[in-house]
């Protein structure tokens, strides 16, 4: 009798767990579309590389889950050996993505890696913003580093609400990145700098769009 009751309890527990598993599977991100293209339209700013956009290397993952844009290192510096405008650098990048009407996407925040050297009393700031022109998008991300600092610093992506491109809209992806170094009270005869390699991996979050031909 006891074995029968135990069997019934196990079966009941497994039955109750099924809706939870189904709910987890249903909440997972939809698969990317079967086709997509991505190209650099242009860029501007003191931290962008010289030359035309065609020379910028962009790599789209084969499964369309993300991409990498290699713009070359951006360096901001202040103190010994720096010019009057070297303390601030920025780059405004425009990308054009073509996807089927069945899908839309958001671009997830990025894990940045910076390297540099800051004396005691100096500081550096990294700012970034990824959005679609015409949409307010997320607030500007601000990462601060205070001296003394020397070496490499990982800056994990914040957990923020994703902003998706509206279904059916043709909008560019705009990526703004900036660096600033403030020598502050540190020794002005010493070099202070912060460098962003600018080869970060951007990841997509996909969402399915309703079929416009299907009545709602």
pLDDT tens digits for range 133-142: 888 767 899 9
Q: Is residue 26 part of a domain?
A: no
For the cut 90, the answer to whether the pLDDT of residue 49 exceeds it is no
Please report the pLDDT score of residue 32 as a whole number. Answer: 84
Average model confidence (pLDDT) for the chain?
84
Residue 24 included in any domain: no
In a domain, 25, yes or no: no
Order of strands across the sheet that contains 37-44: 37-44, 88-98, 173-182, 123-131, 141-146
Domain span at residue 199 reads: 32-208
Please give the Cα distance from 203 to 67 (Å, whole number): 6
Q: How far apart are CA 115 and CA 215, in angstroms?
A: 54
Mean pLDDT of 12-23: 39
The reply to whether 4 falls in a domain is no
Residue 33 has a pLDDT of 87
What are the tokens at 214? 């299907």
Residue 135 counted as domain residue: yes
**Mind listing the pLDDT tens digit for each residue in 191-216?**
999 999 888 889 999 999 987 655 44
CB 80 within 8 A of CB 189: yes
The residue whose two tokens read 């809209």 is 169
Q: Is the pLDDT of residue 19 over 70?
A: no
| DSSP assignment letter at 33 | P
Least confident of 6-20, 56-70, 120-134: 6-20
| Residue 78: strand pairing partners | 192
- pLDDT for 26 equals 39
- What mean pLDDT do residues 96-113 have? 93
How many distinct structural domains can be found in the chain?
Answer: 1
| Neighbouring-strand partners of residue 115 | 152, 195
- The answer to whether 40 touches 93, Cβ cutoff 8 Å, is yes
The whole-model pTM stands at 0.81
Mean pLDDT on 181-188 = 94
Tell me if 14 is assigned to some domain: no
> Considering the domain boundaries, does residue 22 fall inside one?
no
pLDDT, residue 137, reads 67
Q: Please say if the pLDDT value at position 130 is more than 80.
A: yes
Beta bridge mates, 173: 95
Mapping DSSP to helix (H, G, I), strand (E, B) and coil, where does residue 170 land?
A: coil
Rounded mean pLDDT, 74-100: 93
Q: What is the pLDDT of residue 122?
A: 96
Whether residue 21 is contained in a domain is answered as no
41-55, 131-145, 162-176: which has the highest mean pLDDT?
162-176
Instruction: For residue 6, give Cα distances in angstroms to 13, 19, 146.
Output: 11, 22, 61
Contacts for 157 with CB less than 8 Å, ≥ 6 apart = 108, 109, 110, 111
Q: Using CB atoms within 10 A of its CB, is residue 115 exposed (0-12), middle (13-18) or buried (19+)? A: middle
Mean pLDDT of 83-98: 94
């Amino acid at each position: 009798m006891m074995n029968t009751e135990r069997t019934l309890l196990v079966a009941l527990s497994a039955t109750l767990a099924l809706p939870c598993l189904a709910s987890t599977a249903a909440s997972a991100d939809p698969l990317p579309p079967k086709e997509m293209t991505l190209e650099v339209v242009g860029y501007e700013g003191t931290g962008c590389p010289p030359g035309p956009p065609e020379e910028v290397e962009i790599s789209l993952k084969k499964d369309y889950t993300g991409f990498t844009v290699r713009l070359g290192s951006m360096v901001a510096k202040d103190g010994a050996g720096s010019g009057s405008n070297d303390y601030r650098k920025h780059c405004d990048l425009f990308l054009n993505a073509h996807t089927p009407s069945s899908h839309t996407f958001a671009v997830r925040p990025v894990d940045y890696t910076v390297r540099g050297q800051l004396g005691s009393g100096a500081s550096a700031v990294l700012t970034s913003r990824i959005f679609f022109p015409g949409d307010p998008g997320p607030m500007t991300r601000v990462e601060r580093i205070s001296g003394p600092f020397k070496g490499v610093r990982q800056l994990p992506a914040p957990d923020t609400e994703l902003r998706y491109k509206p279904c059916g809209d043709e909008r560019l992806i705009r990526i703004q990145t900036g660096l600033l170094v403030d020598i502050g009270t540190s020794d002005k005869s010493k070099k202070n700098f912060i460098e962003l390699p600018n080869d970060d991996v951007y990841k997509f979050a996909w969402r399915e769009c309703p079929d416009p031909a299907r009545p709602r």
